[in-house]
Amino acid sequence: MSRKTAIFILSFSLFSSLWLPALLGAAANPPLKQVTFIPQWVPQAQFAGYYVAEETGIYQRYGLKVEIISGGPQRSSAEYLKHQKADFASLWLVTGLNLWQQGTAVVNLAQIVQRSALMLIAKKKSGILRPKDIEGRKVSLWGSPFEIQPQMFFKQYDLKVEVLRQSYSVNLFLRDGVAVTSAMWYNEYHTIINAGINPDELTTFFYADHKLNFPEDGIYVRKETWQQQPELCRAFVKASLEGWQRAFAEPELALDITMRNLKKEHIISNRVHQKWMLERMQDIILPAHTQHQLGHLKRKDFQRATEALRSKGLIEKIPDFNIFYKPLAGE
């Protein structure tokens, strides 16, 4: 064997031992697919499952590198999805239907929140114990999409009320500026209790208990994204559902992650409130004593929402259920 041949063999052996495993590893582990996701609001336990999936490496295991964009008043998740500033978004069902009305076809990949958490709250001392007691009272309501169910509620019970626009706080209600206020069970209701009002001093009206259950948070994508990249959509949904399952199985971990993200966005909150929110999210994502499947959108809930929107003249275009909803959660 010549000296040159020996040097070549030695060099090749060194290359094989040092670089070949890395090259094979790179082939076996292709680069992560980068995608963006925007929830409706800022970081909080309402979206714990997504943050858990991101921070614990669940998305990475599904081949994804997910950037979670902080939503909120300055960043509408519907607008971000509509204008392709985000690949995936969390939207209420009525918001997804409204996007169809505007000409933006979206697909519901998983209905995360099964039971509406939107509610009206009154103080018993005001004499409001039943729906008919709201007649003629001042009621504070948020704007769309939060105002659709209360308007249907008022129509259902033939109520005439004085509507005031509600801000992000419940201070007007606490100071008796209005007799009835809007609230989310996992958020403002707890704020009212923490303000010193006992639950037994309150009258609550959950729309879901009055045949007005409109599913809320769901995972949405533009229709063309679903058509062009179905496997990407499947990976995001499966990883997100796994994130929710881990958040409920390990609540302290989920709260640690939630509090870190709140701090990162310079948002003031406390662990007690976030713990309440996480527990209530489990109640509405996986309602007890029901046949709900994680991520499943029921056809009857879809029909209820579309009929309500059409009756109010808010939509004319109603997508076919099988086009609007792709049940990836059950795969």
What does the pLDDT average to over 91-112? 95
Contact yes or no for 179/134 (Cβ under 8 A)? yes
Question: Mean pLDDT for the chain?
Answer: 90
Q: Please, which residues bridge with residue 206 across strands?
A: 119
Q: Where are the strands (E) in the chain, listed by range?
A: 33-38, 64-68, 88-91, 106-111, 118-123, 138-141, 162-165, 180-184, 202-206, 218-222
Q: How many CA atoms lie within 13 A of 252 on its CB side?
A: 0
Above 70 in pLDDT, residue 201?
yes
What are the φ and ψ backbone dihedral angles of 93, each rounded to 5 degrees?
A: -55, -45
> What CA–CA distance (Å, rounded) separates 51 from 258?
7
Per-residue pLDDT tens digits for 285-313: 988 766 668 999 999 999 999 998 888 88
Per-residue pLDDT tens digits for 85-95: 999 999 999 99
Above 60 in pLDDT, residue 64?
yes
Query: Is the Cα torsion angle 48, 239, 78, 34 positive or negative in sign?
Result: positive
Nearest CA-CA partner of 144 in 88, 94, 186 = 94
- Token output for 160: 């005439």
Nearest CA-CA partner of 315 in 33, 126, 80, 102 = 102
What does the pLDDT average to over 231-247? 97
Above 70 in pLDDT, residue 15?
no
312 residue type, one letter: K
Per-residue model confidence (pLDDT) at position 10: 47
Crossing angle for the helix pair 251-264 and 230-249, to the nearest 10 degrees? 110
Confidence of residue 8 (pLDDT cuts 50, 70, 90): very low
Crossing angle for the helix pair 48-55 and 251-264, to the nearest 10 degrees? 90
> What CA–CA distance (Å, rounded) separates 195 from 209?
26
DSSP string, 124-159: GGGT--SGGGGTT-EEEE--TTTTHHHHHHHHHTT-
Above 80 in pLDDT, residue 276?
yes
290 residue type, one letter: T
Q: What pTM did the predictor assign?
A: 0.88
Q: Using only C-alpha atoms, what is the Rg of the chain?
A: 24
What does the pLDDT average to over 24-42? 82
Using CA atoms in the order 121, 72, 298, 280, what is the torsion angle rounded to 10 degrees? -50
Confidence of residue 2 (pLDDT cuts 50, 70, 90): low
Secondary structure class of 15 (helix, strand, coil): helix
Percent of the chain with pLDDT over 70: 89
Confidence of residue 13 (pLDDT cuts 50, 70, 90): low
Tell me how far CA of residue 200 lies from CA of 184, 189, 203, 204, 220, in angstroms. Answer: 18, 13, 8, 10, 38
Tell me how far CA of residue 270 lies from CA of 150, 190, 194, 256, 265, in angstroms. Answer: 30, 12, 12, 11, 14
Domains, the chain: 33-115+215-330 (3.40.190.10), 118-210 (3.40.190.10)
Per-residue pLDDT tens digits for 124-182: 999 999 999 999 999 999 988 899 999 999 999 999 999 999 988 899 999 999 999 99
Q: Can you tell me which residue has the tokens 């509507």?
A: 163
Nearest CA-CA partner of 42 in 67, 69, 66, 70 = 70
Above 80 in pLDDT, residue 21?
no
Query: Is the Cα torsion angle 265, 143, 196, 117 positive or negative in sign?
Result: negative
- Token output for 117: 């958490």
Confidence of residue 19 (pLDDT cuts 50, 70, 90): low
